[in-house]
Amino acid sequence: MLDKKYDWKAVEGKIYDAWEKSGYFAPEAHQPSADNPNAGKPFTIIMPPPNANGSLHIGHALFVATQDILIRYKRMKGYKALWLPGADHAGFETQVVYTKKLEREGRKFWDTPRDQLYQEILDFTLANKSHMESQLRALGASCDFSREKFTLDEDIKKVVYETFKRLYDDGLVYRGARIINWCARHQTSLSDLEVVSPELDDTFYYFKYGPFEIATARPETKFGDKYVVVHPDDKRYKDYKHGQKFELEWINGPITATLIKDDSIDVDFGTGAMTITPWHDSADFEIAERHGLDKEQIIDWQGRLLPIAQEFAGQHISKARPAIVEKLENKGLLVKKEAYKHTVPQCYKCGTAIEPQIRPQWFVAMTKKPRPKGARLAQRIWAAILRRKSLRDLALSAVKKGEVQFVSERFKNEFLRWMENLRDWNISRQIVWGIRIPAWYKGEEVYIGENSPGEGWKQDEDVFDTWFGSGQWPFATLMTTKKGDFEEFYPTDVMETGWDILFFWVARMIMLGKYRTGKVPFKTVYLHGLVRDKDRQKMSKSKGNVIDPLGVAEEYGTDAVRMALIAGNAPGTDPVISEEKIKGYRNFATKIWNMAKYVFEFAKEEGDGALDKKVLDEYEKVRADVSRYFDEYKLHLACEIAYHYVWHTVADDVIEANKRGEVSLAMLKKIFRGCLIMLHPFMPFVTEELYQKLPFEDKEDFLMVENW
């Protein structure tokens, strides 16, 4: 006898423990019958490792549901299904979280020695990691915890070091004093992706600069400006010669300026003449590089003016700007001011204005072709695999050739477009939390390796951009789990993640995966969006509309939450979820439970079964449709078809027909078993519980490994 109601609180933990104890989460455990056409075929998903700096939120629940559904489906189909879980130390993100935690405790981040900070953050991260693992279990994730990896595992770090070394020997990473994005608040550089550029209202100033008139939005950077640049074809300035010098009165007295002609100038913008600040502007930097001009730092690392500003030295740039404008105005050098709308780069975390600075950093070359040297030169086979392609071209050709498919298709174009305009990737971060860059310096010499080459060598102070490590995740994990895993499970099948990290992560995985292994890291990229509430709002603590997945799972059952996350949400769009929707699917779980009670406790045994054939045909058709949608990665359709069939065909019609004697009990049981199988990937707990309790014939020990 089944209980009157389905009590998920009593069932879920028990079922999950039994699954885990069975060992079936490991791909090698389940042996389908030998005639299963998929027997022995690997199917692999590497879980995007959640940032171990907090709890799992609804977005995590979405990826857990999606990936678990895919894995369970394939496992039931007979594949050797591996879902490899992990956790991300999430360098900068976690350091920011930890800094805030320290501030709440009245401590200051930089008051603590580096080694101690590292240890504290490690403890914090490992505690979160273990909490997240229990949350994954609560959500029903059938991932193989025996293969779990952490981005700071020693063996993972060794893979990352090795990649860096190879890139270095191939000339694809280099250390250079180039323009970087500096956040004065966080005291670190950021990659181009970590900079956001909202459009702001500002003022555009026109100043007299000797015989020229120049325009700028940043007067505070102009102290060191001693070059005025015009376009070579600009008729207004045709009487001036490149390199010509002239005297002029400027902020702090007379200076000598030099005229430069450069094609990059837009003659229609401003006055067609501009002064440049090569240390604090990437475009100016490029001009200075082209003409071999001096570069001078004007603003320090805290955003204050340096001694070159004389009376303004030590002032923060935000305060200095009006004072400088006033001084120029008093000197009669201000021509006019204009209201001006332009994009201002900001730190994506704290909104602090990004100050471009020159600083020696490590960069990954995106468009340069490898030039193997030293030991690398000997590896001819490797060079052949690479075909001497740049990292960008490796990824571009892989995607263009269809080695990587995108769900949805439109992301492919977005990906290609982004790849076309790539700039070199700054991977140095001035933070403590992460993998220390394995570069050692002695005078002009550079050594790349994990350990010091000897006396007198000093290691680079910086750590890698987190994405440099996680960009190697698919191969780094499989190279360091069980022997033979890499050979068997790489390339993986699906990478399911949010489209917001398409460039941060997916692009880097394809580039670095191709580079290290010669193969793409995954065959399909399945992208989901940002979970929103029923009014289409982003969820945020300040709006108070956050849905805690574990909380609602406790209240309505994990199966209901999973259904609500998948149903009606097409891949690539922002999924919408609400408590009402979850309730609706909780009712569905109840419905399934009551259907089981009818089939095994109340159903009619007599009758002619006149509709058996029709019922079976319809069942077969639905099963085929659901399978097809699975194979097309249209989980929302597979889900809805199964849902609709079970409720509105089996419950509404087939059971009613049985009451009239038109469907035999044997057929009813067969169909209901099929319903459990079909629903299991979506609603694993209630289906498994019923499977365990009901007296089906020739049962497997778990529905999880029942043949689809």
Partner RNA sequence: GCGCGUUUAGCUCAGUGGUAGAGCGUCUCAUUGACAUUGAGAAGGCCAGAAGUUCAAUUCUUCUAACGCGCACCA
Judged by CB under 7 A, the chain residues 587 through 626 that form the site for RNA are 587, 589-591, 594-595, 597-598, 601-602
- H or E segment at 188? strand 188-190
Rounded to whole angstroms, the Cα distance separating 249 from 699 reads 92
Rounded to whole angstroms, the Cα distance separating 577 from 595 reads 27
Q: Does 281 bind RNA (CB under 7 A)?
A: yes
CB 269, min distance to RNA, A:
4
CB 676, min distance to RNA, A:
14
- H or E segment at 42? strand 42-46
* SS3 state of residue 448: strand
Q: Does 290 bind RNA (CB under 7 A)?
A: no
320-359 positions binding RNA, by CB under 7 A: 342-343
Which of 508, 581, 623, 673 lies at the binding interface for RNA (CB under 7 A)? 581
Question: Which CB, 455 or 535, lies closer to RNA?
Answer: 535
Which of 216, 390, 426, 481 lies at the binding interface for RNA (CB under 7 A)? 216
Question: Which CB, 536 or 541, lies closer to RNA?
Answer: 536
**């001011």: which residue's tokens?**
337
**């555009």: which residue's tokens?**
204
2-41 positions binding RNA, by CB under 7 A: 5
Question: Which CB, 186 or 586, lies closer to RNA?
Answer: 586
Q: Which stretch binds RNA (CB under 7 A): 25-33, 365-373, 388-396, 579-587?
A: 579-587
Q: Which stretch binds RNA (CB under 7 A): 72-80, 89-97, 561-569, 609-617?
A: 561-569
Question: Which CB, 420 or 698, lies closer to RNA?
Answer: 420
Name residue 532's beta-bridge partners: 538, 576
Q: Does 570 bind RNA (CB under 7 A)?
A: yes
Torsion sign (Cα): 30, 31, 37, 42: positive
Question: Which CB, 87 or 599, lies closer to RNA?
Answer: 599
Which of 154, 487, 580, 697 lies at the binding interface for RNA (CB under 7 A)? 580
Which of 143, 65, 22 minimizes the C-alpha distance to 681?
65
* SS3 state of residue 183: strand
Rounded to whole angstroms, the Cα distance separating 284 from 302 reads 21
Total of residues contacting RNA (CB under 7 A): 73
Which of 583, 669, 670, 693 lies at the binding interface for RNA (CB under 7 A)? 583
Paired sense of beta strands 188-190 and 405-407, if any: unpaired
- With beta carbons less than 8 A apart as the criterion, state whether 361 and 189 touch: yes
Which of 444, 204, 150 minimizes the C-alpha distance to 338?
204
Tokens of 310: 């004389």
CB 234, min distance to RNA, A:
9
Please report, to the nearest 10 degrees, the dihedral formed by the alpha carbons of residues 635, 640, 643, 646 taken in order.
-100
CB atoms within 10 A of CB 281: 16
**């995106």: which residue's tokens?**
366
475-534 positions binding RNA, by CB under 7 A: 503, 532, 534
Which of 31, 130, 146, 197 lies at the binding interface for RNA (CB under 7 A)? 197
CB 334, min distance to RNA, A:
16
Which of 414, 548, 555, 625 lies at the binding interface for RNA (CB under 7 A)? 414
Interface pattern 222-261 for RNA (x via CB under 7 A):
----------------------------------------
531-550 positions binding RNA, by CB under 7 A: 532, 534-536
Secondary structure (H, E, C), 94-148 = HHHHHHHHHHHCCCCHHHCCHHHHHHHHHHHHHHHHHHHHHHHHHCCCCCCHHHC
Question: Which CB, 408 or 452, lies closer to RNA?
Answer: 408
- H or E segment at 201? strand 199-209
Rounded to whole angstroms, the Cα distance separating 696 from 692 reads 9
Question: Which CB, 21 or 341, lies closer to RNA?
Answer: 341
DSSP one-letter code for 81: E
Q: Which stretch binds RNA (CB under 7 A): 37-45, 96-104, 439-447, 576-584?
A: 576-584
CB-based contacts of 264, cutoff 8 Å, min separation 6: 283, 286, 287
Question: Which CB, 319 or 660, lies closer to RNA?
Answer: 660
Rounded to whole angstroms, the Cα distance separating 394 from 387 reads 9
* SS3 state of residue 540: coil
Question: Which CB, 479 or 683, lies closer to RNA?
Answer: 683
Q: Does 266 bind RNA (CB under 7 A)?
A: yes
71-110 positions binding RNA, by CB under 7 A: none
173-192 positions binding RNA, by CB under 7 A: 192
Which of 51, 135, 275, 687 lies at the binding interface for RNA (CB under 7 A)? 275
638-677 positions binding RNA, by CB under 7 A: 640, 644, 647, 651-652, 655-656, 659
Question: Which CB, 310 or 343, lies closer to RNA?
Answer: 343
Q: Which stretch binds RNA (CB under 7 A): 239-247, 249-257, 265-273, 489-497?
A: 265-273
Q: Which stretch binds RNA (CB under 7 A): 264-272, 371-379, 443-451, 463-471?
A: 264-272
∠ Cα 597 601 603 (to 5°): 95
Q: Does 561 bind RNA (CB under 7 A)?
A: no
Rounded to whole angstroms, the Cα distance separating 405 from 319 reads 51
- With beta carbons less than 8 A apart as the criterion, state whether 663 and 607 touch: yes
